[in-house]
Every structure is written in C-alpha cells, then in structure tokens.
Amino acid sequence: MLVRIPEVLNREEILHCRRLLEASQWVDGRATAGEQSAKVKRNLQVPEGSPVARELGEVVLRALGRSPIFTSAALPLRVYPPMFNRYEEGMHFHAHVDNAIRHVPGTGGMRLRADVSSTLFLSDPAEYEGGELVIQDTYGAHAVKLPAGDLVVYPATSLHNVTPITRGSRWGCFFWSQSMVKDDGKRAHLHDMDMAIMGLRQALPDDHPAVVTLTASYHNLLRRWAEM
C-alpha cells in the first residue's frame, strides 16, 4: 500500500527545517546503511543523534501526531527517530530493501521492526531534476516526487530506489514505523475501511447505523490483528 499524505508540514515548518539543515553538519549517508545498501547508496545525511536531528525530529513527530491519515495508514506502535538526507548532482540510491530490524539510538538497546517506510519531502520538485523515489510493488514501479511538506508511506518490504540527481539538490526526511498490524494487506484493508468511515461521517450523523456498524467492524478487525 502506497499512500501520499499532503501538507504534513506547513510552510513555516518547512522553512524552519531548511534553515537548520543548511547550517548543519553533513556526513556520508553510507554511515547508516546496511552492508548491501552501502554499496548502492550515494547521498549525505545529518548525523543521527545530533542536536539538529533531534530538534527537527521532534518537529516531524509532532506533525505526524496531528495527521489522522498517517495514523490510519501506518497504525504506528513505534516510530524510529526521523533522519534527514540530501542528494546533490550525481547522487543516487540504487534499488534496495530497507533493513528489517533497526536498533533505536539512545534507548539502551531497543529494537524496532521496520514495517512501514516513510519519506517526507523538504524540497519542491522545481528545485531539482531527477531524484524520483521509485517504489516497486505487484502493480509495477511508481515514481514519486512530491511538493515540500508532503509525505509518502509505503511497505518497508518494497524494493525501491532514488534516481540520480541531474540538477539542483533534493532534501528530505525519512524514517520507519513498527506497525501494530505488520501485514501490509491487512493494514491496507483497515486503511480503506477507515477512509470510508471518515467519508461517511462527513455525509451522515455519527449515530447513523451505517457509521456505527462500519466503525464497529473496523475496531473489531483491528482488535483481532493488532500486536502490542
């Protein structure tokens, strides 16, 4: 399931992120890659755990907390501290799958199962050429290039890549979530139901039998499938 979530960050938050990132230290992105990914990854990242990464990570986490669509799509149990990267001309990230297990920094050894991958765009498409996030699923390859502030959520099991930058610079934030429902098909089913419930609530009173019945079915499925 691939879900686009518009305007997760507002314009003020985007500008704040960009100002801090422009003044930040950057390191080779291969420092946080797995053995296979390091061979195909060419980008820059803000060091994990740095003051800038922590401050901006909190900005992103607060924004996710006010996004009902992110909650619906990811059903997050835990969210990995957001990380920040940039691609300059010639940089890329060839096809790879994200690591299944991540050790969460600063937690004394807590591990997170990466069920859902998320990319938050911090550059507008006009600022660069190339740099599409290409996500492959059973229906083919999907090229994603969104306005600054928009988020794309997709299964961490997906083979994906970032195409080479040919002009400009692409800035972004990325992170993983351990979902309460680890199976992507079940998450997709629940997300579709949740979106239908939101639509019904706009058209019908909350106590309408159709709203009550569908909401009950959603929560009973979530109760059956959730892992805590």
Q: Any idea how long the chain is?
A: 228
Q: Is 18 annotated as a binding residue?
A: no
- The reply to whether 187 sits in an annotated binding site is no
- Token code pair at residue 210: 């159709």
Residue 95: both structure tokens together: 């096809």
Consult the annotation and say whether 98 binds a ligand: yes
For the four alpha carbons of 39, 40, 43 and 48, in that order, the dihedral sign comes to: negative
User: At 33, which amino acid appears?
Assistant: A
Work out the burial of residue 137: count CB atoms within 10 Å of its CB; fewer than 13 is exposed, 13-18 middle, 19 or more buried: middle
208 is in an annotated binding site: no
d(CA 64, CA 74): 11
What tokens appear for 179 in the block?
């979902």
Residue type for position 52: V
| Helices 51-65, 11-22: crossing angle, 10 deg rounding | 170
Binding residues: 96, 98, 160, 170
Binding residues for Fe cation: 96, 98, 160
Binding residues for 2-oxoglutarate: 170
